[in-house]
Amino acid sequence: IVGGSFIPIESHPWVAAIFHKRYGFLCGGSLISPCWVLTAAHCFSDGENTKIPHLSVYLGKSAINDTDADKEQKFIVEKLIIHQNYNDSNYNSDIALVKIKSRNGGCAVRSSTVRTVCLPPLHTQLPAGFTCSIAGFGKESFELPRFSQYLKQADVKLLSNAECSSELQYGNRITENMFCAGSPDSSTDACKGDSGGPLVCEASGRMFLFGVVSWGEGCAWKNKPGVYTRVTNYNKWISAKTQLTEYTEG
């Protein structure tokens, strides 16, 4: 996250940290129900990362390299579902579901550091200019070599797809399954390592997961806002996959 501030996990307790046993921190995610984390498909597009036994998921974590056993919960991956329409060349449908399982076979347990986030109702639209919040362990600037050691949060404003599809911004690279968000002075943005993590917006006193950090040119660059997967286009996919898979394969 570029700009914004360091936060304890308690202020975004749905944030998940996905690790690869060999490569370390991989991506963010959001806990949408006790057994399911929503993240970005492109986190797993490198063939190696798709090897489920090499992945672990942490909830309740405020620092990448510190362990606070009282606050965090660790999981293995029971199932990884990459959206069937995910397109690795333009990042359309950049969305994936991770089914988590603890060593004793359970799922996430609600606490001050671990909580699910609400999914917005089908096709809910917020107006351009609406302020939302992004969170993650991604880089604090494009130039830095490392991820942030500690969890950060930043405010960003939603852009209309018309604005984000202007030639100055991303032209025809923005599909209807994406939306853009940034700050008018380009002081805040997601960056490498924030992928898969949440963009949440407050509506009627609750936080809803509207976006999954997906891509962007650089980080906090002028006229290059962050691009997010439009979660409200995937309500049916999410409910089908998270319910169906309890009983059948695929």
> Does 215 contact ligand 4AZ by CB under 6 A?
yes
159 lines the binding site for ligand 4AZ (CB under 6 A): no
CA atoms of 104 and 232, how far apart (whole Å): 33
How far does the chain reach from its first CA to its final CA, in angstroms? 34
What torsion do the CA atoms of 226, 227, 228, 229 make, to the nearest 10 degrees?
Answer: -170
Closest chain position to ligand 4AZ (CB): 216
Closest to ligand 4AZ by CB, 62 or 188: 188
The backbone torsions φ and ψ at residue 91, rounded to the nearest 5 degrees and listed phi first, read: 65, 25
Instruction: Report, in Å, the least distance between residue 224 CB and ligand 4AZ.
Output: 7
Distance separating alpha carbons of residues 194 and 183, to the nearest angstrom: 17
- Min CB(138)–ligand 4AZ separation in Å: 7
Binding-site member from 4, 197, 211, 216 for ligand 4AZ (CB under 6 A): 216
User: Where would I find the beta strands (DSSP E) of the chain?
Assistant: 5-6, 15-20, 24-33, 36-39, 55-59, 73-82, 96-101, 131-136, 152-159, 178-182, 198-203, 206-215, 226-230
Contacts of ligand 4AZ in 185-204 (CB under 6 A): 189-192, 194-195
**Is 42 annotated in the active site?**
yes
Binding residues for ligand 4AZ restricted to 135-154, rule: CB under 6 A: none
Q: Select 154 or 213, whichever has its Cβ closest to ligand 4AZ.
A: 213
Smaller CB separation from ligand 4AZ, 72 or 194:
194
Select which of 33, 94, 189, 194 is catalytic.
Answer: 94
Of 209, 164, 216, give the one whose Cα is nearest residue 194: 216
Give one word for 192, left, alpha or beta, with left for phi > 0 and alpha for psi -120 to 50: beta
Residue 36 to residues 45, 46, 107, 196, 200, Cα–Cα distance (Å): 19, 22, 8, 13, 17
Ranges within 225-244 binding ligand 4AZ (CB under 6 A): 226
Given 20, 42, 189, 214, the catalytic residue: 42
Nearer to ligand 4AZ (CB atom), residue 114 or residue 154 = 154
Span interacting with ligand 4AZ, options 3-11, 65-73, 145-153, 212-220, rule CB under 6 A: 212-220
Compute the least distance from the CB of residue 191 to ligand 4AZ, in Å: 5
| Nearer to ligand 4AZ (CB atom), residue 113 or residue 195 | 195
- Distant-in-sequence, close-in-space partners of 166: CB < 8 Å, separation ≥ 6: none
Which amino acids are annotated catalytic? 42, 94, 195
Give the footprint of ligand 4AZ on this chain (CB under 6 A): 189-192, 194-195, 213, 215-216, 219, 226
